[in-house]
Amino acid sequence: MKYLEEFGDPTLAGHILADIHATASQPWTIMEVCGGQTNAILRNGIDQLLPPTLELVHGPGCPVCVTPLELIDRALAIAAIPGTIFCSFGDMLRVPGSDGDLFAVRAAGADVRVVYSPLDALTVAEANPDAEVVFFAVGFETTAPANALAVREAQRRGIHNFSVLVSHVLVPPALRSILESPDCRIDGFLAAGHVCTVMGLEEYESLAHTHGVPIVVTGFEPLDVLEGIRRTVHQLEEGRTEVENAYARAVRPEGNLAARQLVGEVFEVTDRQWRGLGPLPASGWRLTESYRSFDAESRFDVDRIEVDEDPRCRAGQVLLGLLRPNECEAFGDSCTPRHPLGAPMVSAEGACAAYHRYRRTEIGATR
Amino acid sequence: MSASWSCPLPLRDHRRITIGHGGGGLLGADLIEHLFLPAFGEAARDAQPLDAAVLDIDGPVAFTTDSYVVTPLEFPGGSIGELAVNGTVNDLVMAGARPVALSTAFVLEEGLELETLARIATAMGAAATAAGVGLVTGDTKVVDAGRGDGIYITTAGVGSIADGVDVRPARMTPGDRIVLSGPIGLHGMAVLSVREGVAFDTTMQSDTAPLHELVGSVQAAGIDVHTMRDLTRGGMAAGLCELAAQAGVGVVFNQDSVPIPEAVAAACNLFGLDPLEVANEGVFVCVVDGDSADSVVEILHGHQGGHHAAVIGEVTDQHPGIVVQRTRLGANRVIDRPMGEQLPRIC
């Protein structure tokens, strides 16, 4: 695997930074949509190197962060049922529900397993025919193709002790919600590169034109992020509001057609609750009629579990870019990565956790 | 190594561990006489037929213990056997001691193949011989099938501390420089790659190794090591954060100075892990006077495991208790202690 060193090259980064500094003539607020980008920015200290007039706002693109509390509670309830094996991506295990997290359920005797792919969960189901194996299918458009593939495979191979707890959410409706908010202060977006790898650019054209914002599809290595910022600043300074692809090595305009076709077969658009943003119409995916029998929520009768978020958590304002994580009263006191009140403090990609990890010195000095 | 042990007559009735092997009777005695002692070899030379080993040590004694659990038991570059010896040896070495003797206590799972146990015990004997420590006393218990992961090993170790050696973290002083002995991330990613069945183009080997020679040669050159830490669980992030917190000083290091093998960087990227938080089993940092750091690097370069040693940073009176990484791009990033288990990210 190559490109890791090359896409962090300090000399090239210096050239891009110099261009940004020379171009940015006024204050601009840019939102990086994806949690992976937030992580890259804070991990490499990119925000410290930008002109002070340029503000980066950390968007809602962390699947761990926007999965609603009630879905976590439903996961906890399913995992606790004797005879189930609950499989999940690693970073969902520490997301707090109303009463504990999946680690706590596991410590109490439940069989909770970390997998790297939903197909691994399918293998677990095959190997344990007497158990009900449930996969926590969270994520944006990025993780959907693999999840869709697992469900389609389960049906094709007749693996009926497998089901998925679906919590898929979509990026464009979230951006629309942010842009339509009366408090919106975002001038331009760095779109999530890997989401576009799957879905292509089409959905972003109308967003850019309707709302008059530049949207630059951006990758995740330091040079990718800097180039995304550079192109956004150029568009803003020149008054352009276009969709631009700064991640051409991974994103084609039409996306990945095979993946889109697969996802379209297994999932259909539905309303979704977002942690922090509330209910958004047509903002997620659920299983289509022909695959509904693999839906864990109805199989385990947990869809009546409904709960409210901790009122002290202001994740919604953080995700909208209205509040910096360190401006939240709970930040660092009643809310830490160890005892998170809300999801953005949990995941390494969550804006609050990233702030807490990487900027503690600075925050300590200003608070 | 495994070829050297062939199942002797008294053990042939049982090719696997049975509950009886932990019962304190003949079966257990057979296991000691015909498996452990031959496998440990030279390292068990001083084992005595007493309930406790008797040691003759002058001066201050360092004493430590550690338990070893790892899945799988054998992985590229080593096994739980090497870990159990090297880990405890290194804890002694990091306390400034010369390792003298180790105890070995096994919790075995019913059904474990004797062949596997023999391979692991042989690895322990070889590691102990390489580190110059005796395996002087031990114990074996057996748990029901399904109640253990094959083998758990607990080793305790004692070592002697020479006059004038003081490596408490409090000796870290602003202006000191920090030397890293080798590339990071290899052990954790080697284990993870076999555990998860992910095939990489290059095989990563665990770096498990005793550090007594590396440290001994620095001390023998008359260099006053202010403090040391081996970078095991939690990796370099945990090691440096612990030192900064315990000493009440700040630590700054350069991202570019830290050797990270390309395979480790690539695998970490794939799993969404941070190489700074990945476990090592044969790497340490040592903190020395600013003027001595280059000599330390030069000495380490001459030893197996030290070829990539480098000065990575320094101790500062700024931001006490906090570790800061200067990134390749020239910004500063605060390094936190890892939470616990590293969790691979979703995407």
Residues counted in chain A: 367
A359 to B262: CB separation less than 8 angstroms, yes or no: no
Using DSSP's 3-state secondary structure scheme, residue B65 falls into strand
- % of chain B at pLDDT higher than 70: 93
B257 contacts on A by Cβ (under 8 Å): none
Please name the member of B201, B330, B346 whose beta carbon is closest to the beta carbon of A63.
B346
Q: How far is A1 from chain B (nearest CA, A)?
A: 6
**Fold of the CATH domain B2-161:** 60s Ribosomal Protein L30; Chain: A; (3.30.1330)
Do the beta carbons of residue B117 and residue B35 sit within 8 Å?
yes
Minimum-distance CB partner of A349 among B269, B342, B345: B345
Q: What residues in A contact B204, CB-CB < 8 Å?
A: none
Which domains occur in chain A, in start order? 29-205+251-367 (3.40.50.11740)
What whole-number distance in Å separates Cα of residue B76 and Cα of residue B228? 27
Chain B stretch 257-276, residues whose beta carbon is closer than 8 A to a beta carbon of chain A:
262, 265-266, 269-272
> Does residue B161 register a pLDDT over 80?
yes
Give residue-wise pLDDT tens across range B215-225: 999 999 999 99
**Exposure pattern of A333-366 as b/e (b: 16+ CB <10 Å)?**
eebebeebbbbbbbbbbbbbbbbbbbbbbebeee
pLDDT in tens, A290-311: 999 999 999 998 878 878 778 8
pLDDT score recorded for residue A351: 81
- The three-point CA angle B158-B284-B216 to 5° equals 55
Mutation choice for B interface testing from A48, A113, A167 by most B CBs within 10 A: A48
B199 contacts chain A (CB < 8 A): no
Quick check: B85 and B91 in contact, CB under 8 A? no
Q: Which of A44, A94, A116 faces B196 most closely, judged by CB atoms?
A: A116
**Position A2 confidence tier, pLDDT thresholds 50, 70, 90:** low
H-state helical runs in A306-359: 315-319, 351-358
The per-residue pLDDT for A92 is: 87
**Across A270-279, average pLDDT:** 88
Segment B256-288, tens digit of pLDDT: 999 999 889 988 888 888 999 999 999 999 999
Measure in Å the smallest separation between the Cα of B342 and chain A Cα atoms: 8
**Residues in A touching B319 (Cβ below 8 Å):** 361
Q: Which residues does chain B have within 8 Å of residue A5's beta carbon, measured at their own beta carbons? A: 262
Contacts of B327 in chain A (CB under 8 A): 43-45
A138 contacts in B (CB within 8 Å)? Answer: 346
Specify the pLDDT at position B204: 87
A346/A138 Cα distance (integer angstroms): 15
Fill in the amino acid letter for A259: A
Residue of B266, B329, B339 lying closest to A338 (CB–CB): B339
pLDDT for res A233: 98
Please determine, for residue A350, whether its predicted confidence score (pLDDT) is greater than 80: no
Instruction: Provide the shortest C-alpha distance from residue B138 to chain A (in Å).
Output: 31
What are the start and end residues of each CATH 3.90.650.10 domain in chain B? 169-335
B89-131 per-position pLDDT tens digit:
999 999 999 999 999 999 999 999 999 999 999 999 999 999 9
Mutate to test the interface with B, among A20, A123, A358 (most CBs of B within 10 A): A358
Which uninterrupted H or E stretch holds B135?
A: strand B134-143
Report chain B residues whose CB lies below 8 A from the CB of A116: 196, 198, 271, 344
User: Cβ distance A311 to A179 under 8 Å?
Assistant: no
Report which listed range, A229-243, A333-347, B36-50, is most confident.
A229-243
Q: Assess whether pLDDT exceeds 90 at residue A278.
A: no
Any CB–CB contact under 8 A between B346 and chain A? Answer: yes
User: A164-223, pLDDT tens digit by residue?
Assistant: 999 999 999 999 999 998 888 899 999 999 999 999 999 999 999 999 999 999 999 999
Whether residues B266 and A1 touch (CB distance < 8 A) is answered with yes
Whether A46 sits inside 8 A of B343 (CB atoms) is no
Q: How far is CA A257 from CA A141, A263, B110, in A?
A: 13, 10, 52
pTM here is 0.88
* Nearest CA-CA distance, residue B240 and chain A, Å: 15
Gap between the Cα atoms of B283 and B214, Å rounded: 10
- The band of B202, judged by pLDDT with boundaries at 50, 70 and 90, is low
Give yes or no for a contact between B319 and B250, defined as CB atoms under 8 angstroms apart. yes
HSE value, Cβ hemisphere, 13 Å, CA-based, for B190: 22
Which residues in chain A are closer than 8 Å to B196, comparing Cβ atoms? Answer: 116
From chain B, the residues in CB contact with A92 under 8 A are: 346
Residue A155: pLDDT above 80?
yes
Contact B329 A349 (CB under 8 A): no
Counting one residue from chain A and one from chain B, the pairs whose CB atoms sit within 8 A come to 98
**CATH tag for B169-335 (out of 3.90.650.10, 3.30.200.20, 3.40.190.10, 1.10.10.2840):** 3.90.650.10
Chain B positions in Cβ-Cβ contact with residue A63 (cut-off 8 Å): 346-347
Asked whether residue A366 carries a pLDDT value surpassing 60, the answer given is no
CB contact under 8 A, B346 and A143: yes
How far, in Å, CA of A143 to CA of B90, rounded?
42
For residue B64, the cross-strand partners are B157
Give the pLDDT of residue A363: 44
pLDDT at position B345, please? 61
Average pLDDT in chain B: 91
